[in-house]
Amino acid sequence: MAGNWKLNKDPQETAEFAQAITGKLPSDSEVISIIAAPAIDLQTLLDQKVPNLKVASENSYFEDDGAYTGETSPLALHEMGITYGIIGHSERRGYFKETDEDINKKAHALIKNQITPIICCGESLEKREAGKVDEWVSGQVTAALKGISANEVANLVIAYEPIWAIGTGKTATSDQAEEVCKMIRHTIEDLYDEGTANSVHILYGGSVKPANVKDLMSKEDIDGGLVGGASLDPESFLQLVHYQD
Ligand SMILES: O=C[C@H](O)COP(=O)(O)O
């Protein structure tokens, strides 16, 4: 269960959040609890040493170093202790014009630095209404995984986030979400094999909250959630990671 804070919280608020959840997360064997925080907050979150919390970056570059002003190095993220990294979020694709090729290069760079990519994909309302969900989403997944081996793919995370459901309060129904997550698994099976497809963790994101998390997580091909707004409040995040209780 991954929270994505987006451009929210400063280091002080980050420390307060960490203190509020310390000692309250489920064990890793039950639920993997992840917070993706702005780059400027990552060290603060790591310093709090919250038991069972994995800390993730929200974006990173595809080069480890060099003349790339303003970018975040995946090598430096690894060295500081980051273990997951979101890439290809629709906000990065939309506002910052990231392409499938960029996202593929970022995936390779994270894997090289032993950071598990959380690769986002998802369709706009326009694509959904045009009946192009499968074609669009499987195309994004295929492009993101180009040149990545089956062993590497087996360990990574794909997050399906329909753009029309992000921050809008409009959740895809659990059946709609399951349908696309299943299609993503089939796409991976076609590209690799059944074992690889079954090993990948597939998350659903888009207005996930404590009230709907159980229903979404009950679906066969939805392994977890990528949660924006409802991950900002510690109590709400705790309810999400404890959805099985
Ligand atoms: O990465 C998280 C998603 O964009 C979902 O955001 P949301 O839960 O605020 O709709």
> How do residues 221-244 score in pLDDT, each as one tens digit?
999 999 999 999 999 999 999 999
pLDDT at residue 169 is higher than 90 = no
pLDDT of residue 162: 96
Tokens of 104: 């593929």
Question: What are the distances in angstroms from CA 35 to CA 21, 55, 144?
Answer: 11, 5, 22
pLDDT of 168: 84
| Top mutation candidate among 161, 163, 231, 232 for ligand 1, by most atoms within 8 Å of CB | 161
Give 64-105 pLDDT, tens digit per residue: 999 999 999 999 999 999 999 999 999 999 999 999 999 999
161 CB less than 6 Å from ligand 1? Answer: yes
Torsion of CA 124, 129, 130, 134, to 10 degrees: 60
Domain boundaries, the chain: 2-241
228 labeled binding residue = yes
* Interatomic CA distance for residues 193 and 8, integer angstroms: 39
CA of 89 to the centre of ligand 1 (A): 10
pLDDT at 172: 85
Give pLDDT tens digits for 10-66.
Answer: 999 999 999 999 999 999 999 999 999 999 999 999 999 999 999 999 999 999 999
- pLDDT for 245 equals 93
ipTM of the complex: 0.99
Q: What is the pLDDT of residues 104-138, one digit of tens each?
A: 999 999 999 999 999 999 999 999 999 999 999 99
Distance of CA 82 to the CA centre of its chain: 14
Nearest partner of 160 among 131, 129, 188, 191, judged by Cα: 188
List pLDDT tens digits, range 65-74: 999 999 999 9
Query: Is there a binding annotation on residue 195?
Result: no
Q: Which residues contact 238 (CB under 8 A, 6 or more apart)?
A: 21, 24, 25
Q: Whose CA is nearest to atom 7 of ligand 1?
A: 228
Q: Which helix (H) or strand (E) holds 85?
A: strand 84-87
Ligand 1: nearest atom to the Cα of 227: 8
Binned at pLDDT 50, 70 and 90, residue 160 comes out as: very high
**What does the pLDDT read at residue 197?**
98
**Measured in angstroms, how far is the CA atom of residue 195 from the centroid of ligand 1?**
29
Other CB atoms closer than 10 Å to residue 2's CB: what's the count?
25
Instruction: Report the residue among 226, 231, 237, 239 best suited for mutation to probe ligand 1: largest number of ligand atoms under 8 A from its CB.
Output: 226
Instruction: Establish whether residue 166 lines the binding site of ligand 1, counting it when its CB lies within 6 angstroms of any ligand atom.
Output: yes
Mean pLDDT for all residues in the chain: 97
Judge whether 127 is annotated as a binding position: no
Cα dihedral 227, 232, 237, 239 sign = negative
> Are residues 26 and 52 in contact, defined by beta-carbon separation less than 8 angstroms?
yes
How confident is the model over 147-164, as a mean pLDDT? 97
In the reported structure, the alpha carbon of residue 45 is separated from the centroid of ligand 1 by a whole-number distance in angstroms of 20
CA atoms of 227 and 88, how far apart (whole Å): 15
Determine which residue's CA is closest to atom 8 belonging to ligand 1: 228
The pLDDT of residue 96: 97
Tens of pLDDT along 193-219? 999 999 999 999 999 999 999 999 999
Residue range 2-241 in CATH 3.20.20.70: yes
Residue 183 C-alpha from the chain's centroid: 18
Per-residue pLDDT, averaged over 168-192, amounts to 94
Catalytic residue list? 89, 161
pTM exceeds 0.80, yes or no = yes
In angstroms, the CA 222 to CA 208 distance is 12
DSSP string, 175-227: HHHHHHHHHHHHHHHHHS-HHHHHHSEEEEESS--TTTHHHHHTSTT--EEEE
Residue 229 marked in a binding site: yes
What is residue 242's predicted lDDT score, i.e. its pLDDT? 98
pLDDT at 107: 98
